[in-house]
Amino acid sequence: MLQASKLRCFVVVAIFCFFAAFAHAQDKSRDAAFQQTPPPAPPATAPANPPPSAQQPNQTPNPPLPDAPAPQKESPKRILGFIPNFQTSNDQSLVPKPLTNKQKFNIAWHNMFDVSAHIGNALQSGIQQASDGQPHYGEGWGAYGERFAAAEGDQITSSIFIIGVFPSLLHDDPRYFRRGPGFSVRSRLWYSVTRTVVTRKDDQTPTFNAPQVFGQLVQAGISNAYYPAQDRNIEGTFKGWGINLGYNCGYNLLKEFYPDFLGLFHRHHRDPDVHPPAPEAHP
């Protein structure tokens, strides 16, 4: 059993290294093509003193778009101190710079092996053990170790395919772009939940979230290699797939609103209620 676990770990790491090398080669070829492209000709300079008819006194800058969100602070990299949040970025009015394939795999690497991911998996396994989730594991410390190892395997395979492989092959952006308090709560709720099936291309145009939907399905299929034998079937695969998609909806809600709760908490401790002194009584 131990040798089989080591073999699965070796295969997972080999897959990650292969796709990371493939992404790095794609980035190098794209950079080389960019360097061979001649730079555009500089625009013609305007005369130093334009004629009075060309001058526009009292010209005001263009107003911001009505739906442009206000600048926000960067989202924390960990939620509650242990839940990985490396994919979240604030949705600003300017188009963000696209990620290279190497950067996508770098996010996947952090999501796989950051210490916060292991803490989260340990807590998740403890909750599953206490609630007797997937009872075929059994009870005791040995069953807990198997649950924890399965959670680690799910974390690794989902990060590889959802953040690294599929976004690189399909030219999708794996980040979650947080809307922030510039929008209504209802629109933010709807936006967060629908990001499970809607994402952005590298050029920021909306598209179907194939990395999330199909990546979760691939992860659910691979998990059959280390889940209990009674759960290795088509029904269990699609059940796990649906649970993971629902979990991702909740994860998006947490990423969207967690900074708001942090702001309320910090504001409460920074600005305590100070009651003004009572007016003095005059004789």
pLDDT in tens, 220-256: 999 988 998 888 888 889 988 998 999 999 999 999 9
Residue 208 has pLDDT above 90, yes or no: yes
Lowest mean pLDDT among 19-23, 103-107, 158-162, 198-202: 19-23
Q: Which of 60-69, 212-221, 227-236, 272-281 is least confident?
A: 60-69
Task: Decide if pLDDT at 63 tops 60.
Answer: no
Task: State the chain's mean pLDDT as an integer.
Answer: 75
- Using the predicted structure, report yes or no on whether residue 70 has a pLDDT greater than 90: no
Three-state SS string over the chain comes to CHHHHHHHHHHHHHHHHHHHHHHHHHHHHHHHHHHHCCCCCCCCCCCCCCCHHHCCCCCCCCCCCCCCCCCCCCCCCEECCCEECCCEEECCCCCCCCCCHHHHHHHHHHHHHCHHHHHHHHHHHHHHHHCCCCHHHCCCHHHHHHHHHHHHHHHHHHHHHHHHHHHHHHCEECCEEECCCCCCHHHHHHHHHHCCCEEEECCCCEEECHHHHHHHHHHHHHHHHCCCHHHCCHHHHHHHHHHHHHHHHHHHHHHHHHHHHHHHHHHHHHCCCCCCCCCCCCC
Asked whether the predicted pLDDT for residue 9 surpasses 80, the reply is no
